[in-house]
């Protein structure tokens, strides 16, 4: 009830913020928005002209051409066709050439207090060029895939920029993925180069990344007899000494030894606007991860523009996004967006709770962070520890806060606003996806009132539509499926090696629209509030996880005969995973077996996908045609036993009673 009341709160833009903001009113936004939709060639053309293009796009044609309607032909999206540029050049060289080389690009803070590094734009350019030269020396050329599996050391964004400089397509794999997942991603795009790291220290634990790399490469060899030609390992002596790192002579190379002697100047590969920039694998409703592909020109313009306006970025700001470059947020709002704007940003390798729950606020005080962008899960877990860790640090430098990755509940929003931002800082709740490349629905912080939990209005160039069950666009206040009409510059162009799957996943349910997979509500004032995924995807702590993938990882354990996983509401993580497992005949259910099954998920995907709860299920509720009724399982997981609905059409309705009884028993026990 309290939560519901709080959701009605409207938070006005503070006058002091509005006065200096880039976009100062809804009217100013509406005018720009109208142009962005009605005349994209002028709107995006003016913005894109602020970047360096080796050759301008063909201005005799519309700036964008696309087909979202599979009945008319194949899905296609093109922006700035005929233009040649390079995103690394615009993110680094342009600033150095225009006299901003001494500006700080990266304020790196390591896992341990006291580990720190300051890199100017000139420093980052030099390091990027050295690595670019090294990659070229190893034969890497335009269009080649380079897989990057690294923690948040500065060399991670540098590696991405080095690839972009020479036209290689980077595929960053989050450091929390297992050997199995890494191998799958290397094999899918046949990446001939792997850039990785000896180890990483996260909190007080050291994780031996190189051991995971070794296992992944062994799997690549076993599965498809494939081995990357280059395996360059960054020596992270802070985490583990070199002497402790397993080494395959002839295959493994130490980054620092190899790259040091390379020249600090490297020519730029001029890329056609629609040449690929990167791949990023993400989960879909089916088991196999999808290699979402973004291209150079449109992504560059969209990343930079969303960064500028959503974060109201102005010279002098210190930006901090706590994401990892292994996810899209780190791509767009660490590696590319801030650098394209010549911003100064904090890059943090560690975790929020180490060495104490004050770490983030200490960093904000230390670097005088003015714009802070993080995930609701982290906010909820820090909120749970009380205000004292926050308020003992000076946060007067903060002027804007942001959230991303999952819905933020009103209570956490209000805490973030009142305690972290001292009631002074607007919050931008930004909705977007790996596929959208950049922020899509968001407040512009100086322009309109905020509503806790609502992402509010579309960014420039984005036309959201809310479809009903039949695929009919709805007017005015409504609830339904969030889709996007028309192309925006930052959108994905295809799934690597599988354009058919791209068309099927996003453009087939309702031809003519990009289907986001999210549900939403729209109010009379146009504000959009996201209501969660409408497909078999869960969002655990902002990590997007496919139910299909979790189930196939569970059944990889020899004792699992059948499984069904569902999402349930989790106070801290937003959503958790609840798995029902039917064991193979004759196997006894034990706590040890639960741990083993969880370990199978850790091995197949990574720790972040391990189910919170495993419940033994003698059988699963199925229709007579064999379809698992997940709707019923979701209700059982949520203890909503009175809302199970009609179970008479099930092949064996008694299964439900058994599951409910076990769940009731477990719930009683855990409450004792």
Residues labelled as active-site residues: 535
Tokens 């990266």 identify what position?
A: 106
What is d(CA 98, CA 18) in angstroms, rounded to the nearest whole number?
30
Tokens 């600090």 identify what position?
A: 264
Nearer to ligand PRX, 328 or 553 (CB): 328
What is d(CA 566, CA 620) in angstroms, rounded to the nearest whole number?
13
> Cβ 469 to ligand PRX, closest distance in Å?
19
Nearer to ligand PRX, 361 or 432 (CB): 432
End-to-end CA gap in the chain? 26
> Cβ 404 to ligand PRX, closest distance in Å?
5
Helix/strand/coil for 162 = helix
> Cβ 103 to ligand PRX, closest distance in Å?
27
Nearer to ligand PRX, 180 or 518 (CB): 518
What is d(CA 87, CA 128) in angstroms, rounded to the nearest whole number?
13
> Cβ 574 to ligand PRX, closest distance in Å?
9
What is d(CA 234, CA 441) in angstroms, rounded to the nearest whole number?
38
Nearer to ligand PRX, 528 or 629 (CB): 528
DSSP states of 83-140:
-EE-HHIIIIIHHIIIIITTSEEEEEE-SSTT-EEEEEHHHHHHHHHHHHHHHHHTT-
What is d(CA 180, CA 438) in angstroms, rounded to the nearest whole number?
29
> Cβ 263 to ligand PRX, closest distance in Å?
37
Nearer to ligand PRX, 443 or 461 (CB): 443
Contact 333, 321 (CB under 8 A): yes
What is d(CA 152, CA 200) in angstroms, rounded to the nearest whole number?
9
Nearer to ligand PRX, 419 or 528 (CB): 528
Q: Would strands 271-272 and 169-172 be described as parallel, antiparallel, or unpaired?
A: unpaired
Please give the residue ranges that form the binding site for ligand PRX (CB under 6 A).
Answer: 282, 328-329, 404-407, 429-434, 455, 516-518, 530, 533, 539, 544
Tokens 């229709």 identify what position?
A: 623
| Token reading at 479 | 């609830």
Report the DSSP beta bridge partners of residue 145. Answer: 169
> Cβ 430 to ligand PRX, closest distance in Å?
5
What is d(CA 173, CA 361) in angstroms, rounded to the nearest whole number?
28
| Token reading at 92 | 């680094």
What is d(CA 379, CA 372) in angstroms, rounded to the nearest whole number?
12
């Amino acid at each position: 009830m309290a939560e519901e009341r709080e959701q009605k709160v409207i938070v006005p833009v503070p006058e002091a913020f509005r006065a200096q903001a880039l976009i100062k009113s809804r009217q100013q936004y509406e005018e720009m928005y109208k142009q962005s939709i009605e005349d994209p060639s002028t709107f995006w053309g003016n913005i894109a002209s602020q970047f360096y293009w080796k050759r301008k796009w063909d201005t005799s044609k519309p700036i964008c051409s696309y087909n979202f309607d599979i009945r008319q032909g194949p899905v296609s999206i093109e922006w700035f066709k005929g233009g040649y540029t390079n995103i690394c050049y615009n993110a680094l060289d342009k600033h150095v050439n225009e006299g901003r080389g001494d500006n700080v690009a990266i304020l790196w803070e390591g896992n341990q207090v006291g580990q720190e590094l300051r890199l100017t734009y000139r420093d980052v350019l030099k390091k990027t060029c050295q690595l670019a030269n090294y990659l070229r020396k190893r034969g890497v050329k335009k269009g080649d895939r380079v897989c990057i599996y690294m923690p948040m050391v500065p060399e991670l964004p540098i590696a991405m920029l080095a690839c972009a400089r020479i036209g290689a397509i980077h595929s960053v794999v989050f450091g929390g993925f297992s050997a199995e997942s890494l191998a799958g991603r290397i094999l899918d795009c046949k990446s001939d180069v792997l850039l990785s790291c000896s180890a990483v220290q996260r909190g007080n634990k050291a994780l031996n990344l190189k051991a995971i790399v070794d296992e992944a490469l062994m799997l690549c060899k076993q599965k498809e007899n494939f081995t990357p030609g280059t395996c360059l390992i960054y020596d992270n002596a802070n985490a583990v000494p070199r002497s402790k790192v397993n080494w395959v002579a002839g295959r493994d190379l130490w980054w620092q030894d190899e790259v040091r002697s390379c020249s600090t100047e490297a020519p730029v590969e001029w890329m056609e606007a629609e040449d690929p920039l990167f791949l990023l694998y993400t989960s879909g409703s089916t088991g196999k991860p999808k290699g979402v592909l973004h291209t150079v020109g449109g992504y560059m313009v969209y990343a930079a523009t969303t960064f500028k306006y959503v974060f109201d970025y102005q010279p002098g700001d210190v930006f901090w996004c706590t994401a990892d470059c292994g996810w899209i947020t780190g791509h767009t709002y660490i590696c590319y967006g801030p650098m394209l704007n010549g911003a100064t940003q904090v890059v943090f390798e560690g975790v929020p709770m180490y060495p104490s729950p004050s770490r983030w606020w200490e960093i904000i005080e230390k670097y005088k962070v003015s714009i802070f962008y993080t995930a609701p899960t982290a906010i909820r877990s820090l909120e749970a520890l009380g205000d004292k860790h926050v308020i003992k640090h000076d946060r007067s430098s903060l002027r804007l806060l942001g959230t991303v990755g999952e819905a933020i509940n009103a209570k956490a929003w209000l805490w973030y606003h009142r305690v972290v931002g001292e009631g002074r800082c607007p919050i931008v709740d930004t909705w977007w996806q790996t596929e959208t490349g950049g922020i899509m629905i968001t407040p512009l912080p100086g322009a309109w009132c905020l509503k806790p939990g609502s992402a509010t209005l579309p960014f420039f160039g984005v036309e959201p539509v809310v479809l009903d069950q039949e695929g009919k666009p709805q007017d005015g206040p409504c609830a339904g499926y969030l889709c996007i009409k028309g192309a925006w510059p930052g959108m994905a162009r295809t799934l690597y090696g599988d354009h058919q799957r791209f068309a099927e996943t996003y453009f087939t349910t309702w031809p003519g629209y990009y289907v986001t997979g999210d549900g939403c509500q729209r109010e009379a004032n146009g504000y959009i509030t996201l209501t969660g995924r409408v497909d078999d995807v869960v969002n655990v702590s902002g990590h997007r996880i496919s139910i299909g993938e979790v189930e196939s990882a569970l059944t990889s354990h020899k004792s699992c005969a059948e499984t069904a996983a569902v999402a349930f509401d989790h106070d801290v993580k937003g959503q958790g995973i609840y798995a029902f497992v039917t064991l193979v005949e004759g196997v006894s259910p034990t706590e040890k077996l639960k741990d083993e099954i969880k370990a199978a998920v850790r091995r197949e995907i990574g720790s972040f996908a391990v189910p919170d709860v495993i419940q033994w299920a003698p059988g699963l509720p199925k229709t007579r045609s064999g379809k698992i009724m997940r709707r019923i399982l979701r209700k059982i997981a949520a203890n909503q036993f009175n809302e199970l609905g009609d179970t008479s059409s099930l092949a064996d309705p008694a299964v439900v009673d058994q599951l409910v009884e076990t769940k009731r028993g477990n719930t009683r026990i855990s409450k004792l």
